[in-house]
Structure 1
Amino acid sequence: MSPHRKIAVVLKGYPRLSETFIAQELLGLERAGHELVLVALRRPTDRKRHPVHDEIRAEVHYLPEYLHDEPWRVFRALLRTAPRAGFWRALGPFLRDLRRDRTRNRVRRFGQALVLVAEWPGDARWLHAHFIHTPASVTAYASLMAGVPWTCSAHAKDIWTSSDWELSEKLGGARWTVTCTRTGFEHLSSLAEEKSRVHLSYHGLDLDRFPVFEGNHSKRDGSDPADPVRIVSVGRAVAKKGYDVLLKALSLLPAQLHWRFDHIGAGDLTKELRAMAGNLGIADRVRWDGALDQKDVLARYRESDVFALACRIASDGDRDGLPNVLVEASSQRLACVSTAVSGVPELIEHGRNGVVVPPEDPSALAKALEQLIRDPDLRQRLGSAAEERVRSDFDHHSSVRQLSELFRDEWSKAS
């Protein structure tokens, strides 16, 4: 790949345990011959890393997370950038945006773009943003300043918590935008002046890291107090994951059923959820594991009986796209129950390869869990169908190949 086509990928934070789908995409692009440099708006806060992060060769550059933390760095960037014509190209759009969004965050995005352009990472000749909210704002301003084209990957929260005017303008400024669910694709397409610039590309899964499970899931049916059915969930303890709904559903299960619930993931609501489990009288059946790396998560899928995730649309509009953990669990023949939110029904067809219930309905979720707990044969049938779906339709090589073709099409037009 020509060094003149090096891609600077702008990320909200890197590395992040909750964004394995981004890491595997970055690695896939490198393996496809693309030269990358990573630009993160935040330094890592997770204490662990996934193995995939250690395999990515790209250098990582960090912009100031808050402008007041590194004022001289920002001031130097302003002095270096202001004399250039690109600064004035970007200033007008920034001021228009600021009139519609009078927030410190808006100013921070412009300041981060100044630093990005002043400290330009090597010979990168393309900008690509992961997430169409904050990272895409920084990228769009930097694109104008540097005169370098940009593209975008949109996901979930970034789509649904952004205003329509901002999405529409970013879709018009980017050469193309990909998104990972049909619901997101349809929403973005409705806002794009040129609909051909919006593409649907499911993340898929690196099946080399989630190989076929050669063992068998248990025949537990909840009747043995010494060997309870194991229910697992992987996700951050945040509102959109619906863990309060899941805990309520677990508390509604019949007293004679024996089960254990393991939660894997960190998050701001962990303390509150722990207290809730205690108030519901199920604390002794719930284990809070915190964040685990990918190998440990894989092992937990294989020793569990049911995967549960009660996705919801949060009060601020935030929601999941297609949670990658559902794809991971399905790849291990684990029966999944989730909710009819965003892209979940695009993977799980109710009664065929999993169970889908309405969001915000603990009673319906409890009934689904009870059915799966009591019926190991049903779990086996659903899990097998789920694995077949993932291995036929959700191989991440397809999404990497699609991205590579999109990049190369743009470059062929420019040459």
Structure 2
Amino acid sequence: MTKQGSPRGASPPSRVAIVVKGYPRLSETFIAQEILGLERNGLDLAIWSLRHPTERVSHPMHRQIAAPVTYLPEYLYQEPLRVLRGALAALRNPRLGKLLSAFWRDLKRDFTPNRGRRLGQALVMARELPPDIRHLHVHYLHTPASVVRYTSLLTGLSFSFSAHAKDIWTTPEWEKREKIAESAWGVTCTETGHRHLAALAPDAGHVRLVYHGLDLSRFPAPPKGRPPRDGSDPADPVRIISVGRAVAKKGYDDLLSALAALPEGLHWRFAHIGSGELLASLKQQAAAKGIGHKVIFLGAKAQPDVISLMREADIFVLPAKEAKSGDRDGLPNVVMEAASQGLAIIATDFSGIPEFIRHDREGWLTPPGDWESLANALNLLARDPQVRHRLGMAAYERLRNDFSADGGIARIAALLRASLSVATDQGAAKTEKEEARP
């Protein structure tokens, strides 16, 4: 039967559901950048989020995204009728047995309330998905991918994934292996993550390496010249900045130790931008080390404010490391954002960072967890504005030449179009088969 308003024989319009853990989120500008880029590539999208937003401010990109947003029940007890309607609809679904078998295998290995919540969210999503959704694409391979996998089993829709950081390194191997095998394809954003996930994939090429990159059209050009501060003037100290959530993997405890070890004659100020669970303890640590008067914690800021502060700074620093939980960063977007402003970067030789920053070429790298090396790097760059200028401009050129967002988004758009094409062909074949029945 042809949809009203569609020419007979024409394929109905089809959309991709983009599934995220929370939307919008300031810490995930790379996801917003990708969604906006996919829309500009002509894809019709719908956003499904497992959580409501928790931040008062959003990125300007979020206001440019046209895709509608649907929020699943964050906690099942909060929207029992939606969950009940999803469960009743599933009882009439012939695929329910396949879903329950997979869920039971998962539950035996992960007997947690969280596992049941993901099933409930999937029941809601499977019932409420519009018929023009033909493919599911999920950001993060841990809990969001569980919801999408269960939804896929119940609806028969194909799904793909984009893996980033924590989801790669804290998800059990059995779970990653099974999700990857059931997916149509996947992408990840660092060579380290790609090697790990490719080893779990059923065949070569199932998981691709696609850097997020940065859309430089969203950023002003680097400042033409920064003041040649060298830390000798107490009235004009060297300005050091970092942007990132106050969590263990960012290494801010190491950074405060390094700052406290800087020579007394070196004049500096440090500003941190971001929220996070360790913010209060970091403030206490700064005070206990006697540097509280030189350190300011600004909390979460909108993107224009972040860029403005970067343009006024002399050094950007991010001492990322592996947390005790196994969590780690990939290639943090804030490192590329600092490069977009020609800012000298000090970071750790860890995870995906050295794929972009090469030591003494585009920035200065120190071993993760080594606050003494970090202090030496800060002391060196704080005293030498010429070195800072050389490193900052080299990072900008590498970003512009090798890490543009356009290429990566084009690759993902092509993969999504291919998945939509397969789904459309399968749907047409099914319709023809049903219409051929007597």
Does the TM-score normalized on the shorter chain lie above 0.5? yes
Are residue 54 (structure 1) and residue 63 (structure 2) matched?
yes
**SS of alignment partner, residue 136 of structure 2:** strand
Which of 203, 206, 217 is the equivalent residue of 1:197? Answer: 206
Who is 1:160 aligned against? 169
| TM-score between the two structures when normalised by the length of structure 2 | 0.93
Who is 1:70 aligned against? 79
**Cα offset, 1:409, TM superposition:** 2.8
Who is 1:230 aligned against? 239
Amino acid across the alignment from 2:300: A
Who is 2:255 aligned against? 246
Is there any run of 5+ residues in structure 2 with no aligned partner, and where? 1-9, 426-438
| CA 359–3 in structure 1, closer or farther in 2 if over 3 Å, else same | farther
| CA 56–353 in structure 1, closer or farther in 2 if over 3 Å, else same | same
Who is 2:430 aligned against? none
Who is 1:335 aligned against? 344
Is there any run of 5+ residues in structure 1 with no aligned partner, and where? none
Amino acid across the alignment from 1:175: A
Who is 1:386 aligned against? 395
Paired with 1:384 and 1:97, the residues of 2 have a C-alpha distance of 49
Paired with 1:121 and 1:392, the residues of 2 have a C-alpha distance of 41
Which of 291, 311, 314 is the equivalent residue of 2:300? Answer: 291
Who is 2:150 aligned against? 141
Q: Is contact 2:193–2:330 with CA below 8 Å preserved after alignment? A: yes
Identical-pair percentage: 54
**Equivalence map 1:242-391=2 (5 Å):** 242-391=251-400
Who is 1:15 aligned against? 24
Paired with 1:261 and 1:214, the residues of 2 have a C-alpha distance of 20
| CA 257–3 in structure 1, closer or farther in 2 if over 3 Å, else same | farther
Paired with 1:5 and 1:91, the residues of 2 have a C-alpha distance of 28
Amino acid across the alignment from 2:261: L
**Cα offset, 1:320, TM superposition:** 0.3
Amino acid across the alignment from 1:62: Y
Who is 1:171 aligned against? 180
Amino acid across the alignment from 1:168: R
Paired with 2:282 and 2:372, the residues of 1 have a C-alpha distance of 19
**Cα offset, 1:122, TM superposition:** 5.3
Q: Is contact 2:134–2:420 with CA below 8 Å preserved after alignment? A: no
Paired with 2:296 and 2:11, the residues of 1 have a C-alpha distance of 50
Amino acid across the alignment from 1:389: R
Who is 1:207 aligned against? 216
1:319-367: CA deviations, max 9, x gaps?
Answer: 0000000000011110000011110000110011100000111100000
**SS of alignment partner, residue 57 of structure 1:** coil
Who is 1:113 aligned against? 122
Who is 2:429 aligned against? none
Which of 393, 396, 401 is the equivalent residue of 2:405? Answer: 396
Q: Is contact 2:160–2:186 with CA below 8 Å preserved after alignment? A: yes
Paired with 2:278 and 2:192, the residues of 1 have a C-alpha distance of 27
**Cα offset, 1:387, TM superposition:** 0.4
**Cα offset, 1:215, TM superposition:** 2.4
Paired with 2:12 and 2:43, the residues of 1 have a C-alpha distance of 9
1:93-126: CA deviations, max 9, x gaps?
Answer: 1110111111111111111000001111452111
**SS of alignment partner, residue 69 of structure 2:** strand
Count residues with an aligned counterpart.
Answer: 415
Are residue 410 (structure 1) and residue 419 (structure 2) matched?
yes
Instruction: Give the aligned CA root-mean-square deviation in angstroms.
Output: 1.2
Q: Is contact 1:133–1:158 with CA below 8 Å preserved after alignment? A: yes
